[in-house]
Amino acid sequence: MNGLALGWIYVLMALGLTLIFGIMHIMQFAHGEIYMLGAYVVYYLTASLGLPLLTATALSMLVMAGVGLVLERFLFRRLKVDWSSAVVAATGLTLILQSGSVVMFGLYQRNIPLLAQGPFHILGSVVPKDRIVAVAGAVVLSLVLYLFLNLTRYGEAMVASAQNPEGAILQGIGPHRMSALSMGIGCALAAAGGTLAGSLFTLSPYMGLVPLVKGMTIIVLGGMGSLPGAFIAGMVLGLIDGLVPILFGAAWASMGPLILVIVVLVIKPQGFFGHAE
């Protein structure tokens, strides 16, 4: 069940990264730090201001979306021409945010209030309720995203823009707004993911690195710029991460994702649903 919850959290990361990459053509390496900061914002809102978890999460998502907009406007917009510069800038950002967090928050273990208390009896086995709530939360967010992309004008423009940058302009929405939107939504999703993870596990300034790598793995597997691909790949990865350690031991567990990625690449270099570049 842990695996399922984690899988969905990683999917949230992957969705955000896919959006940002699809629209801005930049791999936002500091996304893990957004995830981490989202969790810390919730921590401070609940611990210092005593806000209820749901409110705090919503606020955190808004705050991080705002951060995303600022980053897009002042950092990434100036670097879009050269993707390698963007990678370096993002990594520089990671360094700053991560060490900044260590300085500001320290390395203590912190926790966000639980999503739910107690076990849930289902089909004869016992499952902690909070895992279920986490999965449910992630599913809801993904659905909202899906609806947004398919039903609203902005959403459709984003999908079109990912396929073809001129497509969005034809819809009357400028590329800058597209980038800002993708960055905002992507960061909000990451913040949500961080909150869920922070509630299920603990917070640390380094918590963003692993989800970032997992998110990126999901993207390569599922195909860049493909949202359904991200879902499927996320599930597959979650399954592998859950089963391999049990079946083959921890050492193989680390090679699992890599071997999977290699196999997929050899068979279909664009990932499950990707389109040829």
Partner 1 sequence: MQNRSSLGISLGWALAVILAIVSPLALSNIYWTSALTRILISVLMAASLRTVYLVGEFSLGHVGFMCLGAYTSALMTLKANLPFALTLPAGGFLAGLTALLLGYPFMRVKGIYFVILTVVTSESLRLLAFNWSDLTGGTDGLIGFPGAGSLSIPILGQVDFGGSNEYYYLTLTVVCASLYILYCLEKSRLGFTWLAIRETDRMAGAVGINVLKYKVINFSAACFFAGIGGALLAHSEQALSALEGASFGIMTTIYLLVYTVVGGKMRFEGPIVGAVVLSLISEFTRPVEEYQPMIIGAIAIVIVMLSPDGLVTIPKRVGLRRLRSFAPKSKAAAKPKA
Using the Cα atoms of residue 93, residue 10, residue 69 and residue 55 in order, give the sign of their dihedral.
negative
Interacting span for partner 1 (CB under 8 A) from 36-44, 159-167, 177-185, 247-255: 247-255
Binding of partner 1 by 75 (CB under 8 A): yes
Give, as ranges, the residues between 21 and 50 that touch partner 1 (CB under 8 A): 21, 27
Nearer to partner 1, 116 or 213 (CB): 213
Could you list the beta-strand ranges (E) of 95-168. 119-122, 125-128
Q: How far apart are CA 192 and CA 177, in angstroms?
A: 22
Sole binder of partner 1 in the list 48, 50, 103, 151 (CB under 8 A): 103
Binding of partner 1 by 250 (CB under 8 A): yes
Burial of 275 (0-12, 13-18, 19+ CB in 10 A): exposed
Sole binder of partner 1 in the list 216, 230, 232, 233 (CB under 8 A): 216
The CB-of-108 to partner 1 minimum distance in angstroms stands at 15
The full length of the chain comes to 277
Sole binder of partner 1 in the list 49, 54, 70, 88 (CB under 8 A): 88
Binding of partner 1 by 219 (CB under 8 A): yes
Interacting span for partner 1 (CB under 8 A) from 62-70, 100-108, 109-117, 129-137: 100-108
Binding of partner 1 by 79 (CB under 8 A): yes
Determine how many CB atoms are found less than 10 A away from the CB of residue 268.
12
Determine how many CB atoms are found less than 10 A away from the CB of residue 62.
15
* Phi/psi of residue 236, nearest 5 degrees: -60, -45
Instruction: Identify the bridge partners of residue 254 per DSSP, sorted by sequence position.
Output: none
Nearer to partner 1, 99 or 150 (CB): 99
In this structure, the dihedral spanned by the alpha carbons of residues 156, 159, 165 and 169, taken in order and rounded to 10 degrees, is 10
Sole binder of partner 1 in the list 51, 53, 209, 240 (CB under 8 A): 209
Q: How far apart are CA 10 and CA 34, in angstroms?
A: 14
Nearer to partner 1, 57 or 270 (CB): 270
Inter-residue contact 35 to 196 (CB < 8 Å): no
Q: How far apart are CA 86 and CA 80, in angstroms?
A: 7
Binding of partner 1 by 163 (CB under 8 A): no
Residues forming contacts to partner 1 in the complex (CB under 8 A) are 21, 27, 75, 78-79, 82-85, 87-89, 91-96, 98-100, 102-103, 206, 209, 213, 216-217, 219-220, 224, 249-251, 253-255, 257-258, 261-262, 265-266, 269, 277
